[in-house]
Amino acid sequence: MSEVQKTLVLIKPDAMQRDLLGEVLGRFERKGLKIVGLKFIHLTDALLEEHYAHLTEKPFFADLKKFMQQTPVAAMVLEGWDCIDEVRKLVGSTNPRAADAGTIRADLSMNMPSNIVHASDSPENAAIEIKRFFQDDEIYSYEKITDRYIFGEGV
């Protein structure tokens, strides 16, 4: 069953360094995802250890942490139909060289950890990650004149 969902996206320091923030944000906008939360965050050690808890024992974790702290990241909450899976589709698989052409990671990057963007991978993680980075009052509900095309079921 399709449903309107929210998901958490972080635009990573390689995108910030390479002036790709607008390009990446634009791809989400052009898809028809609604940006309902948006801010810069500097990721502390504690936040990264929580966010990447499944990776703290990996040999690449220290480099991943250093990389994620190079610049502030642009954190956003996106809303749309089935948007958790839809955003992961746009983002592509973790290794940019294994990602399908046309995805953000395949089109704009070559290596890990510098693969441009983080996106929640399940409804459970989306809920946890949105709470990790956003207060309730930083997430907005608003109407756009394009909603009937993007969110409407019919014409």
Tokens of 67: 């990389």
Is residue 51 part of the contact set for ligand TYD (CB under 6 A)? no
Is residue 94 part of the contact set for ligand TYD (CB under 6 A)? yes
Is 118 annotated as catalytic?
yes
Q: By CB under 6 A, what part of segment 98-117 binds ligand TYD?
A: 112-113, 115
Pick 13 or 113: Cβ nearer ligand TYD? 113
Pick 61 or 151: Cβ nearer ligand TYD? 61
- Binding test (CB under 6 A) with ligand TYD, winner from 47, 64, 127, 150: 64
- Binding test (CB under 6 A) with ligand TYD, winner from 40, 60, 140, 149: 60
Is residue 96 part of the contact set for ligand TYD (CB under 6 A)? no
Instruction: Report long-range pairs for 37-40 (Cβ below 8 Å, ≥24 apart).
Output: 37/75, 37/76, 37/77, 37/130, 37/134, 37/138, 37/139, 37/140, 38/74, 38/75, 38/76, 38/77, 39/74, 39/75, 39/76, 39/134, 39/138, 40/72, 40/73, 40/74, 40/75
- Binding test (CB under 6 A) with ligand TYD, winner from 23, 85, 121, 138: 121
d(C-alpha 49, C-alpha 55), whole Å: 8
**Least gap, CB of 94 to ligand TYD (angstroms):** 3
| Binding residues vs ligand TYD (CB under 6 A) | 55, 60, 64, 94, 112-113, 115, 118, 121
As annotated, the active-site residues are: 118
